[in-house]
Copies of this chain bind each other. A is one copy, B any other.
Amino acid sequence: MTTNLVPNDSLLTDTPEQGRALAIKLARLIIKATQPDEATRVRLREQYANDAVMLIQIAQVVATEFATIAAANGYWNRKPT
């Protein structure tokens, strides 16, 4: 099956580093689903990569996606509560 929204159709990763990369990817794939035109996305990416407010907002999205991924992965070895 082709997946367009979740690579490998799984939230599980081996490490936090890979979890962060997945969080970035999930955010990008939502933007791709909302704006399928590649040329438009390239133009918009140029905008937000050079705008402080938008960079911070992207960081907010990634933080939110990562919270879910981290929970799915048992925080890659959580300390006992």
A interface vs B, CB < 8 Å? 1, 3-6, 9-12, 15-17, 19-21, 24, 26-27, 29-31, 33-35, 40, 44-45, 47-68, 70-81
Contacts and interface: CB of A to CB of B under 8 A. Distances in A.
When all copies of this chain in the complex are counted, the total is 6
A36 to B, nearest CB: 9
A57 B60 contact: yes
B20 A16 contact: no
Given A17-B9, A52-B47, A75 B64 contact: no
Tell which of A52, A75, A76 has the most Cβ of chain B within 10 Å: A52
Contact of A10 (B11, B16, B64, B72): B16
Contact of A56 (B19, B40, B54, B78): B54
